[in-house]
Structure 1
């Protein structure tokens, strides 16, 4: 799944560790999501969207092959 997490984080000058703390996950989880190696659970995706005051679809998009 494609996502805009890295861009959104950078716009706020947050490190991966900062974002991980806000979401109560590990920095490695943030890194894996940003690189597309891990898709977040639905509750985590909602939490991410709420943190950035966006809709899930504005943060994540389905990757069509």
Structure 2
């Protein structure tokens, strides 16, 4: 798997369940590619921040 495919799979995984073959290819790519591991980490952090922001916004609306 190339980096472009890996980053696409990382992004797709946020929206849908990856097929077994996609998961296997991504996991093997992540073992050797620090850049894609960083991309995955950044995506996870961004998701956490967005969820936190949404929760804070919801709390403000309820007050």
TM-score with structure 1 setting the length: 0.33
Q: Which has the higher strand share?
A: 1
More contact order relative to length (CA 8 Å, sep ≥ 6) = 1
Q: Which has the higher helix share?
A: 2
